[in-house]
Amino acid sequence: MALKKFNFNVIKQDHYSRCGLIKTQRGNVNTPAFMPVGTQATVKAAFIDDIIKTGSEIILSNTYHLMLRPGIKRIKSVGGLHQFMNCSLPILTDSGGFQVMSLSKFNKVYKEEGAIFKSHIDGKKFVLSPEESIKIQKELNSDIVMVMDECPKKTNDYKIIKKSMDISSYWASRSKKAFGKNPQKALFGIIQGGLFNDLRKKSLNELMKIGFDGYAIGGLAVGENQSEMFKVLDDLKNLMPEDKPRYLMGVGTPSDILGAVKRGIDMFDCVLPTRSGRTGLAFTWNGRINIRNSKYQNDNEPLDPNCTNFNLNKYSKNYLNHLFNTNEILASMILTLHNINFYQELMKNIRANIQKGTFNKFHDLYINKL
């Protein structure tokens, strides 16, 4: 049987917000979509089967971390990342570009060579070039591959951001050449340019000339406030190709997602729901709950009776408060799953309201509440 080609179609549009369908060889992804983050071949504190039960249709994993541990050879030997982690869902792999920034004390960036860095684990030297990043992602057998980029820290220094953007554009061209032709896989370009409108537009134009299967907006969620992020999206929303998925990398809170969907974004990822779950912060339709708070010691109600698509309401706030305050592993597992479940219910409601033409009302109801 022939493998499915990667494909994306917009099904319904409500102002700038859009419902679409990404088709991959491993299954379809309804958009707007949230991708749980499985950085090291696991969504922390959750079984992949339970992640699937929340309605998650795609997850994200990371080139940099898997390259260091367990190493690509081990993953490739069993047939790729899906087999290694027993995941039937499509997988998007980040290129490692973000870690070039977040672990910058361990690396140096050169336009031709790429990122040369020492492992934060054992100090071993690595070189991550655009070609090497693509090679690793192909060996992982990921369904959506990201170009190698340089993701700069937030700065108002125009020269620094321009230099970073120019490197990212050059690396994008090299990534495309290294990727070659594979209609069953997708390669996404990454728009850089910080908070500078002219650099963002130049980056997008250069990527469109190269041609990609999707376009991501990188270099955000690095310290800017929400209004600054939305300004970048407003400046790009009329310029991005309408027939390609639009992916806002590393974002974010429920209100970030609502605002970005209003500005035409189709795909999201963020560690926030899982990281928050491990520290006792729950997302609910009535706002956020810090379950460690002593006021929940005698509260026998569930975290959120409005969450329906996964049976987590059998655990009371009283019980969860106890689990967290006694450092029980089960606490992280329950709240992680609850938060992923909430995010997927949010996405499901977003899609339903776009389909009905009522997304702006839904947005206005929850943008300041979630």
Q: What's the rounded Cα separation, in Å, for the pair 201 and 302? A: 47
Summarize the confidence of residues 9-17 as an average pLDDT.
97
Q: What is the DSSP string of 266-318?
A: -EEE-SHHHHHHHHTEEEETTEEEETTSGGGTT--SBS-TT--SS--TTSBHH
Contact residues for 64 (Cβ-Cβ < 8 A; gap 6+): 94, 96, 99, 100, 128
Domains of the chain: 8-270 (3.20.20.105), 289-335 (no CATH)
Averaged confidence pLDDT in the chain? 95
Q: What count of other Cβ atoms lies within 10 Å of the Cβ of residue 28?
A: 14
| Residue with token string 């909430």 | 342
- 0.85 exceeded by pTM: yes
Contact residues for 1 (Cβ-Cβ < 8 A; gap 6+): none
Task: Let me know: does 318 contact 300? Beta carbons within 8 Å.
Answer: yes
Structure confidence at residue 47 as a pLDDT band (50, 70, 90): very high
> Percent of the chain having pLDDT more than 90?
87
pLDDT at 2: 63
Whether residue 1 has pLDDT greater than 60:
no
Summarize the confidence of residues 332-355 as an average pLDDT.
97
Summarize the confidence of residues 327-347 as an average pLDDT.
97
Q: What share of the chain is helix, strand, coil (3-state, %, to 5)?
A: 40, 20, 40
94 catalytic? Reply is: yes
Q: Which of 14, 266, 269, 304 is catalytic?
A: 269
Give pLDDT tens digits for 286-296: 999 999 999 99
| Residue with token string 């102002």 | 15
pLDDT at 63: 93
Structure confidence at residue 352 as a pLDDT band (50, 70, 90): very high
- Burial letters for 129-138: b for 16+ Cβ neighbours within 10 Å, e otherwise? bbbbbbebbb
pLDDT at 104: 65
Give pLDDT tens digits for 220-277: 999 999 999 999 999 999 999 999 999 999 999 999 999 999 999 999 999 999 999 9
Q: Which of 14, 94, 149, 304 is catalytic?
A: 94
Structure tokens given for 52: 């699937």
Whether residue 76 has pLDDT greater than 70:
yes
Give pLDDT tens digits for 120-166: 888 888 889 999 999 999 999 999 999 999 988 889 999 999 999 99
Contact residues for 58 (Cβ-Cβ < 8 A; gap 6+): 22, 24, 29, 33, 35, 89, 90, 91, 92, 143, 144
Task: Name the DSSP class of 151.
Answer: -
Whether residue 346 has pLDDT greater than 70:
yes
Q: What's the rounded Cα separation, in Å, for the pair 31 and 44? A: 24
pLDDT at 215: 98
pLDDT at 4: 84
Task: Let me know: does 7 contact 349? Beta carbons within 8 Å.
Answer: no
Task: Let me know: does 315 contact 326? Beta carbons within 8 Å.
Answer: no
Q: Which amino acid is at 80?
A: G
Q: What's the rounded Cα separation, in Å, for the pair 115 and 132? A: 10
pLDDT at 106: 72
Residues in the chain: 370
Burial of 40 from C-beta contacts in 10 A (0-12 / 13-18 / 19+): middle
Q: What's the rounded Cα separation, in Å, for the pair 95 and 136? A: 9
